[in-house]
Structure 1
Amino acid sequence: MNVADTQVTRIERSTVDRARKWARANLFNGTANTVLTLVSVTLAAYLIYTLTRFVFVGADWEVVDVNRRLIFLGRYPKEEQWRIWPPMWMVMGLGGLSYGMLSRGSLRDLAWLGAAVVFILAFLATTTNGLLFGGGVLVSIAAYGLGRLSIDRPLLRSKLRLVTIVGWFLVIPFAIILITGFGGVKPALWGGLLLNVLLAAIGIGVGLPLGILLALSRASSLPVLKGFATSIIEITRGGPLIAWLFIARFVLPAFIPDAFETDPIVNSMIVVSLFTGAYVAEIVRGGLQAVDRGQVEAADALGLGTFNVTVFIVLPQAIRAVIPALVSQMIALWKDTTLFAFLGFTDALSGGQAAYNQAAFKGSQIEVLVFVALLFWAVAFGMSRLSQRFERVLGIGVR
């Protein structure tokens, strides 16, 4: 055995020894922990085996393959599908760039997201949409690489940070203008997963700044402003989202003059934005209370105005402290968009229900629901991991 082989053997033994010590210290350091580890591993192995066997052996995915357009787009006109892809590419590119600038992707994250992408592509591979979605994946990968490239290049990183911030601010207006403008598609024809994405995007894009304004208003010393913000927050939070959606869908149109009548989906978007804003306001208000009062007093002593103190000192620290709670609220909103199925809108869930209710696919509920669940999980998982990377970069939870 030569010197190189000896060194490789030593490295392998060292890795095995470290893994053995870690397992003994964390998984088998006592009778109770050992039993819990064995039970957890057995249960995880059984679940993985059952799911894998179902996906590759037992399931019949024809119902998803035939109805994929119904699940993804609902009643959206086929000739107008081109309007969807530029905003989607923009989102995928910004997502990859943000992820690359924040941190290096772990193998576990890439494996999970890669599996989800491959699974979705399996149902789009035979269509033009598969090529377009694959192009978006390539854009996301390239943007991630560019973000990683900027780690050691401060000037490039500064420019990319500006592009990313401006891009996230513009993506929602760009999508709405492209989809509805220039003879585009009316909201009544939006459907499938596209409707869920637009509802969540509008709810987050409008609800987040609205919630910050409500939080600042509630913390204000002006009685009228404080009372107005408090009333909106407490009234909105006093009812469940589904109740407010039913009011927007069936009750509100009866009180609106015909000249101001809007599409039911637009009314629902307004309600979702207001509902999200009310919860975001309370989350941000908790962050405002966590900021040390001494910093405000020090800023006042330096002669900074109220606006500068709030925008540049108090608010950044407050939002930084509540990022985990804000992301949890966003993920909850993303999943709550399935409530629109109860209002008669054709979102991804109701599109799936329509698919397995077809006579040719009776009894295919599991396949459809697993596929729809994967779609929602992939987005929620991506938001969660991006949030964790963001927290790590900002040092949240580190003392």
Structure 2
Amino acid sequence: MFQQIISFLLLLAVFFSCTAPKQNEQPLSEIIDESLALATAQSLLMAESLKDQPDRLPQTIDKDGKLVTCNSAWWVSGFFPGVLWYLYENKPTETLKDWAVNYTLRVEDQKYTTDNHDVGFMIFCSFGNAYRLTGDTLYRNVIHTASNSLITRFNPTIGCIRSWDYAPWSAKWQYPVIIDNMMNLEMLEWASKAFSDTTYSHVAESHANITLKNHFRDDFSSYHVVSYDTISGKVEKKNTAQGYSDDSAWARGQGWALYGYTMMYRETGNEKYLKQAENIADFILHHPNLPEDKIPYWDFDAPDIPNANRDASAGALICSALIELSDYVPEAKSNEYLAVAETQLRSLSSPAYRANLGENGNFILKHSVGHKPNGTEVDVPLTYADYYYVEAMMRMKKKLSEHDE
């Protein structure tokens, strides 16, 4: 049965690619349907490949093209379950649902995580989507426990959730807060509403406010890391760990910021978050180093542009955020954001970035960058690139269907 499903999805993808006009003439809705069919087939192959390794989840590939996996404790563990849930939402089948449940439960033990901030990524991308689509209270209870775990990392003197505890960061910074941490606030805002407890939203909004105050430069680009003095609560250092330099604009970091403040506006209705999201979007979209295909270089200030590595994960993340942000702004800006998002989806869905079935370690997208200064995960697929790509397609598909109604 599994092979029959794979064969059907492959035939569907081939049908779209063979019967459509040239890509620049092909309707975006067809590109999305084709890409979601390919993503489903590819993700089912991935799920099947790890069926006998119940404690492993996809991470990337090595230099030989072999799949690299992680356990539930690594920060990316929740993304593949989330991909499966989005694909199930697109075309509900029992096979997809069974695999989505299987991989989601592989992450459940992280609901007790208190030694890093990534519990939001781990649990809300997996269990959050699971609860959204099934209403099963098991998933709801896991999110509740995880939210209680996450808020233990909040320091009221500083007003932020601490990001990292472990070496070597603990030797360099007293209290590091990274821009990525904005993404984990969504789980807390959700929990505040679901459990009628403002404790969670208080933490989330304090963190968002302090980050807005201290993480951004005058041009609305973001530092990666801001560290705080644990006694005074004041800023001690502003740095960038995964970008080119402390003063550069690390591409995925700008994406985390854009997505995070867009989400915070959705959750709170606070206009200052919307304004911040718009300012970040302006920085990204009007940057002279943003390529024509709108998939950014790994850092906007990389010294070897135009030969620098592209980062499909940053492109997918920014794309998904722009689609949502387009709902909250006047028509002119909305059209601008959607036009860029369409270009990004067409680019990511092209052979330049999208893998063929059975290749690329069964990941969907190629050409992402994890930690270039450290020389790790450079020009490889990354599980979170796939997550935000599939999320962006689902968001755009919904928007296109609303337009047709």
With normalisation by structure 2, the TM-score equals 0.30
Q: Which has the higher contact order (CA 8 A, sep 6+)?
A: 1
| CA radius of gyration, larger in | 1
Higher helix share goes to which structure?
Answer: 1
Higher strand share goes to which structure?
Answer: 2
